[in-house]
Structure 1
Amino acid sequence: MAFDHNDHYHRLILRHLPGGCRTALDVGCGTGGFARGLADRGISVDAVDPAAEVIEAARARSEHRGGGPGPRYRRADITRTELPRGHYDFISCLASIHHMPFGTVAALRDALAPGGVLVILGCYREVSPVDRAWSLAAVPANAVARLTVRAAETVRSAGGSGAHGPERARSVRAPVRQPAMSLAEIRRETSGLLPGATLRRLLFWRYLLVFRKSDSSR
């Protein structure tokens, strides 16, 4: 189904863009929807993903994008990539941090410029009754959202739009992996690696972690 839980939270994540943001890194960019949203705001965006097929799809979709410069897409494993220290005003990880050791956030932290913001939209392993209660609460909302998107796509299809060009690129999906860490484990790791970060649970089997680097950090 076309309803995407990560896309649903794009507007929430964008609220955390620091003022005057000029440079951004999107880690695990997939087919590039969020990276393009950043570029549309005049931000210089580096977008990386280890999967060749999704980077190819991201580039294909950017070719049909009007306006200013798009993101710079690169196939790369962020755990093996040397990032420039103190460079990025904003770093985003949308449902990608569970594909790598959580300690990778230390390198992302160090790549932030003073006053920069790291935002992680993450997935967690359900282990507690509270986790399962949130999961159950998400099921009816998820069903309504999926039906709404299906109805909208039916209307578009009736108008004659076909699955070619950028539409075909949209059908490519990033690889899926089940999260290994519970929310409690993520909180514990966050407290040591990203002191002062906030972490809250979201409805659609996600959490939002926000870390702002001190303006005085070097």
Structure 2
Amino acid sequence: MPFDHNDHYHRLLLRQLPPRCRTALDVGCGTGRFARRLAARGIDVHAVDPSPDALARARAAAAETPGAPPVRYQRADASRLQLPPGHYDFISCLASLHHMPFETVSALRAALAPGGVLAVLGCYPERTPADWAWSLAAVPVNAVARLAVGTAEALGPPGVADRVKAPTAPPTVPLSRIRREAAELLPGCRIRRLLFWRYLLVFRRPDS
């Protein structure tokens, strides 16, 4: 069914944008849906992903939308990418950080401009009773959401799907360890658990 957990949290992520945001980096952009939403706000967006199939679909989606703001797509592994220091007002990672070493957040932090925000929509495996309780609570809500979205798409006009089979890997780092490492590498960050097997990490670089 077509319900996408990451898309569900787009509006939550957009609420993390700093005032007067001009530049953004979308790490693990996939087919570019969130990158396009950033660009639609007048933000200069640099979007990276290691999957050529996902990037091809992202570029095709932009071409199919007349007047769409441009997004600079690049095929790259963000954990090895040389990023300009202090450049981006906003950096997003949607369900992509678990594909790379968590220490990558240090390079992302260095790439933030003063006052810039790093927002991570992350995945974690169930390891504790609390994890399983949240997972159990998400199952019926997930089923209803999938049914609702599937019905709406079936009854609505035909659209162009931008879902591709990009390489994926299950998360392996438990949320407790993510909290510990984030506290060390991103001092002052906030992490909260979300429904649908996700967490939100928000770090703001000090203005000076």
TM-score, normalization by structure 1? 0.93
Is the 8 Å Cα contact of residues 90 and 118 (structure 2) preserved in structure 1?
A: yes
1:202 matched to which residue of 2? 194
- Residue pair 1:27, 1:48 contacting (<8 A) in 2 also: yes
Q: How does 1:52-71 map to 2 (within 5 A)?
A: 52-71=52-71
CA distance in 2, matches of 1:104, 1:42: 27
Aligned residues: 208
Q: Classify the secondary structure of the residue corresponding to 2:54.
A: helix
State the Cα distance separating 1:173 from its structure 2 match.
Answer: 3.6
In the TM superposition, 1:1-218 aligns within 5 A as 1-156=1-156, 159=157, 161=158, 167-168=160-161, 170-216=162-208
For the 8 Å contact 1:31–1:173, the answer to whether it is kept is: no
Deviations 1:39-85 (A, max 9, x none): 00000000000011000010000111233532111100111110000
Moved over 4 A (4+): none
Whether the 8 Å contact between 2:115 and 2:204 is mirrored in structure 1 is yes
The answer on whether the counterparts of 1:51 and 1:75 sit within 8 Å (CA) in structure 2 is yes
The amino acid that maps onto 2:192 is R
More helix by share: 1
Cα distance in 2 between the residues matched to 1:126 and 1:40: 36
Q: Is the 8 A contact 1:30 1:173 kept in 2?
A: no
Q: Distance in 2 between matches of 1:174 and 1:212?
A: 30
Q: Is the 8 A contact 1:48 1:73 kept in 2?
A: yes
Equivalent-residue separation in structure 1 for 2:111 and 2:163 (angstroms): 32
SS in 2 for 1:66: coil
Distance 2:86 2:171 in 1: 29
- Structure 2: how far apart are the matches of 1:171 and 1:209? 25
User: Could you report, residue by residue, the CA deviation over 1:189-213 in whole angstroms, capped at 9, with x for unpaired residues?
Assistant: 0000000000000011000000000
Structure 2 residue matching 1:79: 3-state secondary structure: coil
- The answer to whether the Cα contact below 8 Å between 2:62 and 2:68 also exists between their aligned partners in 1 is no
Q: Contact 1:47/1:74 (CA < 8 Å) preserved in 2?
A: yes
- Which shows bigger deviation, 177-186 or 62-71? 62-71
Please list every run of 5 or more consecutive structure 1 residues that lacks an aligned counterpart in the other structure: none
Unaligned stretches of 5+ in structure 2?
none
Quick check: 2:32–2:47 contact (8 Å CA) kept in 1? yes
Q: Which whole-Å CA distance do the structure 2 matches of 1:174 and 1:208 have between them?
A: 23
**Is the Cα–Cα contact under 8 Å of residues 91 and 108 in structure 1 kept in the other structure?**
yes
